[in-house]
Every structure is written in structure tokens, then in C-alpha cells.
Amino acid sequence: MDYQTLLQLAVGGLLLGAVYALAAAGLNLIFGVMRVVNFAHGDLMILGAYTAFWLYDRGGVNPLLSLTISIPLLFVVGWILQRFLVYRVVGQPPLMSLILLWGVSLVIINAGLFFWTSNVRSVPYFSGGIDLAGIQISRSRGIAFVTALVLSIGVWLFLQRSRWGKAIRATAQSAEMALVCGINVNRVRLLTFGLAAAMAGAAGNLLITILALSPGVGPSFLLKAFAIIVIGGLGSFSGAFIGALVVGLLESFSAFFINAQAADAVIYFALILFLLVRPGGILGQRE
Amino acid sequence: MTKIVIWPGLAVVLIILAVLPFFLPNYRTAFLLITFMYVTLASSWNIIAGYTGYVSFGHAAFFGLGAYTAALLITRLGTHWLLASLVGGVVAALVAVPLGYILLRLRGPYFAISMLGLAAAFEVVANSWVSLTRGGAGLNLPPALNLVQVYFAMGIAMVVVIGLSYRIITSRYGLRLFAIRDDEQAAEVLGINTTLHKVSAFTISAFFPGVVGGFYAWNLAYIDPTSVFRPILSIGMVIMTMFGGIGTVAGPVIGGVLLTVVAEGLWARLPEFHRAAYGVLIVIVVLFMPGGIMTLVRTRGWVPRSWRV
Amino acid sequence: MATIARSMLLVLSLTLALGLTACATRTGAPPSEGTQAQPQEPLRIGASISLTGRYDRTGKEMQNGYELWAEQVNATGGITGRQVQFVIYDDTSDPETSRNLYEKLITEDRVDLVMGPYSSPVTLPASTVAEKYGYPMIASGASASDLYTRGYSNIFGVYTAAQLYLDGAIDIAVRNGYRTVAIVNENSAFAKDTVAGAKRKAEQAGLQVIFEEEYPNTVRDLAPVLTKIRPLNPDVLLGGTYGEDSTLLIRQMKDLNWTPRIVAFTVGPALPDFYQTLGEDAEWVMGATQWEPGLRGEGVAEFAAAYKTKYGYDSGYHAAGGYAAGQLLKQAIERAGSVDNGKIREALATMDANTIYGAYKVDATGSQVGKPSYMIQWLRGERKIVWPDAAAETAAVVPLPEWGRR
């Protein structure tokens, strides 16, 4: 077991992890602001992925360019979901929103299956790898990594510096206080869901250049994203990145040391472990 | 007074169901059998989700566990399928005990997601433990040549679980489960051993899917990890119960029957459509009729509210 | 009183609903044995095919084969004077769906005959249904050994047994002095059979199998497995694959900038659009095949030409398999002198026949023993038969050049 292979695996896992982090941060936003677990988050990622695929399939469009379509598109989808469906269950027992979004997830999955069939798709726009001191970095992973990082930093800056970003963070801390301070909480929620969906869509858009995806795999990404935010720390933006690091590495190493499918099971066990032992995650915040 | 009317009514239904398979073509009998299966699954799920308030999104885990246990017993030891299925149910129940002990500490959404992950994890195990399960190649069982036997097996399982549901709902045990569902902390304070009740309800809810999983494996003569841990089973349980009326006895039955009938008309020609329709139905039910059909029935007075059904 | 009446009504209507639904079709006689058919009535053949899902590429090919066969047969007067009519449903590449569809085809649609679906996982439960009702099923798209070890008497294979698929690659490896072999495969019955057979043959030939791993059919990322293989530097990579995973493997091998000297997969490379999907990356990849348009045999050239005319591209072995299955059915019916399922089964079990696939002969379990398996290689954008020598169109080109030097 040479250290070069280990490094290869670690690098591969980390690169992918950044893309997961982008999606997980979105899930975290929704949870933070609305205390809702977006059960359709993985499927929103798939929507973004398939947008990229559709554009590539029809017009050979560069998946980075597709981001200019998938991001606004998913923003609108998220906005619509919040405006017409989710708002009704915010504040209700968490199970209601869970089941509601599960229903939405079903609709999205099967609409996807209907339009694109269950065939596995990918957008192999960037193929081949770069050799970096004996470590092969596949171009698609490298590019996805950089893009995901850039987008994440962009969102972070937005949350830190801009007015609406601060409004979102305020609402996450306490919706009542935010209301009292004059913040239009409804608008904030619409914005949050839209933004989170856009992040998921972007992540999916990038993901399909690396992996092969089909409409039905949304839930497995939801599980990953959920594991990431639980491990990293619910409600913490940077927690998503720590969590993604852990999950990305876990995934890579378990696929290597056990087998390709074991990764999902290992991540699941890590999730359960954290939920039981350290529900606050690594950057443990509330609860 | 009402009892004088209801029991014969139910007896009539049962007699008709018992006699039907001798007059129907196999395809229709198979359809009824699958309906019974779904009603059983939904009713079992109702016990942990509707009565106790712990909504599980991955109950197919127990179904698959039972299916594999039974299939392995049948193919390796030549066990009779009825016994094998019962053992499947027992194994599922035994596994549910420690699992329930651990997972039922998680609240609401966390529990739901953890069950989802459990079903996925079981599928991984079934795929990877090749020496036991032959992995993705699946298990081939001797063909079940007598459909009517399986029909009766499923039917009896269904009647038993419905009867049990009714027994629970009219008992003190059931009341305590409801207390846990409504406010677990208060229930604790009242002196109810919530852990014992939750785990026992969970175990019961795991037993029947295990048994029925065995029947299913026998009927299909071939199982593989994908087919017995499939999400649509878990989803079906949830939507049927919710649509019919979660937390009631008749709810899972009504939901199970209605949705299976509807699906029957659709699945062959429009498989994605009927599953997407499930999704839409879930959304509608959650938003507009979270109590399902039974709430409708109750508020309209078609069924006296005093009836614990 | 009113509430009691209402509740009775509820119970009764529920019962009625259930009963009505169940009795919605005419009950009655078991599926017809076809003995009372009028000469003008079409001969209905039922099948479920993977028109969508994992196996859709190959499923559609098979359907093409069936359709072309039906068209040609009907143009010459049909079978025993009856026009052939296929009743086909999409099983979405799902075994359980297929099983239900065959139940439907036999008990509700009352088809006269059935043909097999595509892939071993799907054919397994489908053939159980056929066995139950005594309908012989020609497995026109499956070859796993499981099909024939269950003691069924109603299943007949068209493809050569799965274990023999990769023999050609091993032979070529030996001839070129290669020593080490790495094996990956999907974890389903067919794929496992192919690599089990390959491993046995490799070891017999004195090669060393230095790596073996399975992956589930839901796999999305094979990079970790390839990362494991790369440092071991095997000469040969064998894959028990279908279409999607073989494509994924080639793509990720390129990403990792690694290739061994011989690459041979099952199913994928034999598909007509393998090159279309991968472009030049598909060059030099070898594939196991059951049939190629370049074979010298009875009716092969005519079929290849007719297929190309009708569909616009060269047929692969899946379409030819569908066609050959049709030919076998016709010959069996003619030999049996009737469309009675029992007599057809007899004929299929005992006859020697010839189709575009070559010689047909099955052993006692129904497995095909009349014809060999072949190996193709993509050379200059075309599939060429490279093994066995008797059928080869050209010699195999090994080793595969590195990615950087192409």
C-alpha cells in the first residue's frame, strides 16, 4: 500500500468533496433559516445536472457555460417550491415538511425518468488527467473543484457582506427578532430556498462532469449532504466544508478498501454515529 | 348494537375474499395478493409511524431482510416456504430490537432519514456479502406453482395485522403509544416506559414486513438486492397509510386498496407516471388532508367518532 | 339506525369495489393452447423488452431484430399461413416488471407464444413464469448459467454460455506472451459467469490473475477501482460488463491516464454505437460478441444488408440474436407441425437447426452448444472479428498504445 496511491485517493476524494460542500451548504441554509430538512435537495442537484446534460447533448455546450442556465433555473424552482408549497409547513411539526418534500422529490425523480429514462448520463466535456508529481488529477475533477470553491466563496461573501445576506443570517438566528427588526421574513425565506436550490443545481451541474448520474440517484446525494451537515455542524456554513472533507475522504477510502458501493454504507454509519454521539457535529453549534 | 352489524359484514367480506381465487384467472389473483401485501405493509408501518409517531422512511429494510432470510432458508436448507417466511419475520423482529433501541433515540426527521439510510445500507450488505447472498446475482428459488396458497398466506397475514392493529388501538398499550406520539416528554413524566413501548412497537412493525417479504420471495422465485430493498416499497407504505388515514385501523386498508387498484391501471403503461402521481398525492395529502380519508369519513359523520377505527 | 345503515353501506360498497375490480375481466378458460386458431388469425408472440433503463440500447437492438424477422416472415406468408404479430411491453430493464408482464401476456393478453427479454437478471424471473405455464421461451438475450441450472424444461438459449465469452482475449494474450490479468465485473449473474469462466481459462493457460473486484450495477464512479489496479500494472484488463459500465471504465481510464496492453469487455464494445459514444477512445478495445455481420454463414450477408437498409447502420449481435430467435421459432413450429406449446418445446429441445447465428443445438438443460463465441476489436472506427482464427477478418492489434501517444 504505497503512499502515492493513498495520496491519489485523498486528492480525488477532496476534489469531489468541494462539490458536495456546495450542495450541503445549501441544505444547511434551508435548515438554518426555516428549520426544514429539504428532502428534495438531492433531486434539485439532479435537475441541475440534467440541465447541463441536456445542453451538452443538444448543443455540445461547455458545462461551465451551462452554469449560467442551471443556476438561475434552479433558483426559480426553489423559489416556486417555497412560495407555493413549503411555506405552508414552516413552523409545523418537522415531519410535515419532510413528507411534503419527499413527495416533491418523487415527482421530480419520476418526471426526470419520464423525460430522460433511467439511463445513466454524463457530460465528459473535460477528459483526461493532469499529472502532478505522480498524482493523476482528472481534469473534470480539478475544474469542478475550482468552480465549486469559487461559487462557495461567492455565497459566503454574499452572506457576510450584503444586506440580504445579513438578513438571511438574522432570520436564521431568530425569525421573530428579524421580523421585529423590520426584515421581510417571507422574502428572506423565498430567497433562501432559491439560493439553496441554485447551489444544489450548480453542484449537480459540476457533478455530472465527473460521475455518471441517473434521475433516481437524488436521494443518495441527499443522504451524503445530510451526513455532511450533521458531521460538520448543523447550521454552520463552514461546517459544511469540514463535513465535506470528511465525507469525501470517507467515500474515496471506503471505495478503495472495501468496494465501490460500501462508501454509501460507511457514510451512513458515520451519520448515525454523529447523530447519536455528537449531534452538534464537529463545529458543534446548537442542540 | 353496532357490533351485531359489523362483524357479520366483515365475515361476508372475508368469505368473498376466500372464495375469489377459485374463480379468477391467475393474473387477477396475483393482483389481489399484491394488494394484501401492501395493506399488510402499510398497516405494519402504521403501528410505528401512526400510533407511536416515529415515521420511518426505509421500512423496506425489514421486508428485504425477511425476503432474504426466507430465500436463504429455502434454497440452502430446503425449508418449507411458510416456515421460512415466519423465520424471516422473526429475524426481522430480532434485528429491529437493537436497531430500534439505537435509532429510536433520534427525533422526527433524523429518525426518518436514518431509516432511509438503513434500507440503503442493507442493500449494500446484500450486494457485498456475496458468499451468503450471491450478491447482485440474486437468489433463485424453486418456482411457486400454487398461487392460491400464497394468496391465502398473504391474506391471513393481512387479517392478522389488521386484527392486531385493532387490538392495539383499543387497548391501554395503544393509548400509551399515542401518548408517546403526542408528547414524548410528557409521556415519560407520566411514568410510561417510552423506550420499551417504542421498541416493542418498532419490533411488531418489523415482523410482518419480514414475513410478507418471505412470501414475496417465494412467489417471485428470484430476488436480488435491488428488488427487495427498493424505495418504492417504503414510499408505498407511507403514502397508502397517509392517504387512507394515518393512525387509524382502516386507514392503511383503504389507502392500500385504493392506491393498488389505481396503480394497477397505470403501471404497465405509465410506470413513471404512477409514481409521480404518488408524489403529487403525498403533497396534496400533507397540505390539505393530513389525516387522510378517515378524517374525511369521520368529519362527515359516516362513521361514528366513538369507533376506534 | 341511520349510522348503522350508513356503515353497512360503507362495508358493502368497499366489498363490491374490491370484487368488481378483481372480476373486471372475464374469468374463464386457461390460456389457449392455440389449437383452435383459424388460419387467418395472427400468431401472437408476447415479450417484454428493455426499451428504457439500463439495458435500453441492447433491448432496442433486440426489438429491431424481432421486427425485421416478423416483417420478412409475414412477407412470405407467415408461419403455417398465419401472420406473425408481436405483443411487446417495456419492462424498463427491471426483473420484477418483466415477470408481471409475462404473467399479463400469458394470462390476460392470451398470447400464443413467448420470446425472452434481454439480460440474464430479467430473463430469470421471466422464464419462471413461462415454465409455470408451460410456454417454451427462447432466451434470445441472456446467457448466464443460472438459467440452465434450475431444472427448467422450457428455456432454450441462443447465445453461447457466458463462461466462454472472454476466451478469445485470453488466447490472444497468451499468444503475445502476456502474463498478468486484472478482472472487474458487475455483480450480476451474467457478468459473474463471464469472469468466472475467464479466470478459469486464464489460469489453465498459465496466466496469473492478479486482481479481481466486483461492483454493483448502480455504480457511478469506477475511479477508485481503477486506482487500485493501476499500480499493479497488469497486462490485460478483462471486464464482465454491460453497456454503461464499459463506457465508464474507458472514460475513467483515460482520466487516470492509464491503459493496459489488452482491454476486453463483454457486451459494451459489441454495441454499434460504442464508438459513437467514446469516439477515438474506443479504438483498440476488444469485445466479446455472439455474432458479427462479417461472419461467413447461411443468410448472414442477406440479414446484414436488410438490417442496414432498414435501420441505417450495421447490426450488432443483439439484433441478430432477436432475428435468429425468430428463425428458430419458425423452424421449431414447422418441425412440430403445430403451434402447440408442448410440441414446440419438444422440437426446440431436440432439433439441429441453422440460423444466421450458425448451428443451433441445445444440451439437456437448454444451454446452447452449437456455436462458438467470438472476439471483435475496434480498428479504424470499425468492428472487426479478430478471434477465433477460423472466423477472423483480421489479426488483433496489441498492445494498446498509451493515451499520450495516440
Q: Which three cell numbers stand for residue B249?
A: 385501523
Nearest to A275 among B106, B239, B280 (CB): B106
Q: Which three cell numbers stand for residue C231?
A: 499500480
- Give the domain range for residue B194: 26-231
Q: How confident is the model at residue C7 (pLDDT cuts 50, 70, 90)?
A: very low
**Residues in C touching B30 (Cβ below 8 Å):** 100, 103
Nearest to C257 among A131, A213, A259 (CB): A131
- Residue A231 and residue A245: Cα distance in Å, rounded? 10
**Percentage of chain B with pLDDT > 90?**
50
Do residues A37 and A89 lie in contact, with contact meaning Cβ atoms separated by under 8 Å?
A: no
Domain assignment present for residue B262? The answer is no
Distance (Å) from the alpha carbon of A5 to chain C's nearest alpha carbon: 7
- Residue A16 and residue A142: Cα distance in Å, rounded? 9
Nearest to B109 among A94, A261, A265 (CB): A94
Domain assignment present for residue B267? The answer is no
Domain assignment present for residue A110? The answer is yes
Distance (Å) from the alpha carbon of B150 to chain A's nearest alpha carbon: 31
Mutate to test the interface with C, among A6, A45, A117, A224 (most CBs of C within 10 A): A117
Assess whether C177 and C282 both reside in one domain: yes
**Residues in B touching A275 (Cβ below 8 Å):** 106, 110, 114
CATH of the domain at C284: 3.40.50.2300
Statement: residue C256 has pLDDT above 80: yes
- Residue B69 and residue B85: Cα distance in Å, rounded? 8
Up-side HSE of residue B245: CA atoms within 13 Å toward CB? 15
- Give the domain range for residue C306: 43-160+297-360
CB contact B101 to A (< 8 Å): no
Domain assignment present for residue C210? The answer is yes
Strand-pair category, C137-139 with C180-186 = unpaired
Q: Do C257 and A252 touch (CB under 8 A)?
A: no
Name the 3-class secondary structure at C124: helix
Alpha-carbon dihedral of residues C260, C266, C269, C271, nearest 10 degrees?
Answer: -170
Name the 3-class secondary structure at C240: strand
- The number of C-beta contacts closer than 8 angstroms across A and C is 86
Q: Which residues contact C57 (CB under 8 A, 6 or more apart)?
A: C243, C271, C273
Strand-pair category, C382-387 with C374-379 = antiparallel
**Residues in C touching A145 (Cβ below 8 Å):** none
Distance (Å) from the alpha carbon of A14 to chain B's nearest alpha carbon: 23
Q: What is the mean pLDDT of residues C179-184?
A: 95
Q: Do A107 and B279 touch (CB under 8 A)?
A: yes
Q: What is the mean pLDDT of residues B183-209?
A: 94
**Residues in B touching A104 (Cβ below 8 Å):** 279, 283
Burial (CB count <10 Å: 0-12, 13-18, 19+), residue B90: middle
Residue of C nearest to B307 (CA): C7
**Residues in A touching C255 (Cβ below 8 Å):** 127-129, 136, 138-141
CB contact A132 to C (< 8 Å): no
Domain assignment present for residue A227? The answer is no
In A, residues 61-120, which contact B (CB 8 Å cutoff)?
85, 88-89, 93-96, 98-100, 102-111, 113-114
Mark out the alpha helices in chain A (DSSP H runs). Answer: 3-34, 41-59, 63-84, 94-116, 139-161, 163-173, 175-180, 185-207, 218-232, 237-257, 262-277
Q: Give the global pTM.
A: 0.83
Q: How confident is the model at residue C126 (pLDDT cuts 50, 70, 90)?
A: very high
CB contact A14 to B (< 8 Å): no
Domain assignment present for residue C15? The answer is no
Q: Do A275 and B55 touch (CB under 8 A)?
A: no
Domain assignment present for residue B194? The answer is yes
Nearest to C11 among B9, B27, B137 (CB): B9
Residue of B nearest to A118 (CA): B272
**Residues in A touching C231 (Cβ below 8 Å):** 2, 4-5
Q: How confident is the model at residue C23 (pLDDT cuts 50, 70, 90)?
A: very low
**Percentage of chain B with pLDDT > 70?**
95
Residue of higher predicted confidence among B157 and A175: B157
User: How long is chain C?
Assistant: 406
CB contact A117 to C (< 8 Å): yes
Domain assignment present for residue C101? The answer is yes
Q: Do A252 and C224 touch (CB under 8 A)?
A: yes
Do residues B44 and B211 lie in contact, with contact meaning Cβ atoms separated by under 8 Å?
A: no
ipTM above 0.90, yes or no: no
Domain assignment present for residue C18? The answer is no
Name the 3-class secondary structure at A135: strand
Q: Do B20 and C124 touch (CB under 8 A)?
A: no
- The number of C-beta contacts closer than 8 angstroms across A and B is 109
Q: Which residues contact B207 (CB under 8 A, 6 or more apart)?
A: B44, B89, B90, B92, B93, B96
Q: Do A119 and C219 touch (CB under 8 A)?
A: no
The count of structural domains within chain B is 1
CB contact B242 to A (< 8 Å): yes
Q: Do B103 and A272 touch (CB under 8 A)?
A: yes
- Give the domain range for residue A119: 22-216
Assess whether C76 and C176 both reside in one domain: no
Domain assignment present for residue B155? The answer is yes
Domain assignment present for residue A237? The answer is no
Assess whether C180 and C329 both reside in one domain: no
The count of structural domains within chain C is 2
Strand partners, C115: C138
Name the 3-class secondary structure at C118: coil
Residue of higher predicted confidence among A276 and B202: B202
Domain assignment present for residue A249? The answer is no
Residue C36, phi-psi category: left (phi > 0), alpha (psi -120 to 50), beta (remainder): alpha
| DSSP, residue by residue, C139-184 | ETT---GGGGSS--SSEEE-SBPGGGTTHHHHHHHHHTT--EEEEE
Q: Do C14 and B2 touch (CB under 8 A)?
A: no
**Residues in B touching A269 (Cβ below 8 Å):** 121
Assess whether C273 and C398 both reside in one domain: yes
**Residues in C touching B229 (Cβ below 8 Å):** none
- Residue A106 and residue C261: Cα distance in Å, rounded? 45
Domain assignment present for residue A263? The answer is no
- Residue B15 and residue B8: Cα distance in Å, rounded? 10
Q: How confident is the model at residue C8 (pLDDT cuts 50, 70, 90)?
A: very low
Statement: residue C27 has pLDDT above 50: no
Tell me phi and psi for residue C221, to 5 degrees.
-140, 115
In Å, the largest CA–CA distance within chain B is 59
Q: Which residues contact A124 (CB under 8 A, 6 or more apart)?
A: A140, A209, C251
Over chain A, what is the mean pLDDT?
A: 89
Assess whether C65 and C115 both reside in one domain: yes
Do residues B231 and B278 lie in contact, with contact meaning Cβ atoms separated by under 8 Å?
A: no
Residues of C with CB under 8 A from a CB of A: 52-54, 56, 92-93, 213-216, 218-225, 227-228, 231, 244, 248, 251-252, 254-258, 281, 403
Q: How confident is the model at residue B2 (pLDDT cuts 50, 70, 90)?
A: low
Assess whether C90 and C185 both reside in one domain: no
Statement: residue C5 has pLDDT above 50: no
Nearest to C256 among A119, A129, A212 (CB): A129
Nearest to A217 among C220, C223, C248 (CB): C220
The count of structural domains within chain A is 1
From residue A276, alpha-carbon distances to A210, B1, B104, B124, B300 in Å are 33, 51, 10, 22, 44
Nearest to C215 among A117, A127, A260 (CB): A260
Statement: residue A20 has pLDDT above 90: yes
Name the 3-class secondary structure at A283: coil
Q: Which three cell numbers stand for residue C6?
A: 350508513
Mutate to test the interface with C, among B17, B224, B309 (most CBs of C within 10 A): B224
Over chain B, what is the mean pLDDT?
A: 88
Statement: residue C40 has pLDDT above 80: no
pLDDT 10s digits, A91-144: 787 778 888 998 999 999 989 888 887 777 888 888 778 888 778 888 889 999
Distance (Å) from the alpha carbon of C247 to chain A's nearest alpha carbon: 10
Burial (CB count <10 Å: 0-12, 13-18, 19+), residue B146: exposed
Nearest to A127 among C53, C244, C254 (CB): C254
Assess whether C301 and C322 both reside in one domain: yes
Q: Which three cell numbers stand for residue C116?
A: 425472452
Angle between helices A94-116 and A218-232 (to 10 degrees): 140
- Residue C211 and residue C208: Cα distance in Å, rounded? 9
pLDDT 10s digits, B107-151: 888 898 889 889 988 998 898 888 888 887 788 888 777 888 999
Assess whether C211 and C77 both reside in one domain: no
Query: How high is the pLDDT of residue C15?
Result: 46
